[in-house]
Amino acid sequence: MKEKSGKSGSIIIRDLQGLELEISGETEEISESDLLILLEKKVRQLLDKDFNKLILLLYRLDINEEKFNFVISQPAEKHVSGIANLILEREKEKLFWREKYQS
């Protein structure tokens, strides 16, 4: 049985789609691991075809530059998963703060 991130997963996907990061597939109730797989696919596409768009997206997501530089300093085979993890980490952080100050 998969652990679902449910509502938070769909909120993250909606936020990313608002930034023109189109993620396809069943996203109604998605586990964190499945969301990470979808992010990795998109990051791989952007790394291969439109690096400038990827950098702009990371800027718009407010990804920490030091963390990004660390990921890029790793071996090339770790770039995709590292960047996808940075995106997911940042989106979860934004959700935390939204929920905390929503009341």
CA angle at residue 46 from 76 to 81, to 5 degrees? 45
What does the domain layout of the chain look like in residue ranges? Answer: 6-102
Tell me what pLDDT residue 7 has.
64
Give the pLDDT score at 101. 86
pLDDT at 4: 42
Contact 49, 94 (CB under 8 A): no
Average pLDDT per block of 10 residues along the chain, 103 residues long = 53 70 64 88 93 93 95 95 95 88 76
Look up the pTM and report it. Answer: 0.80
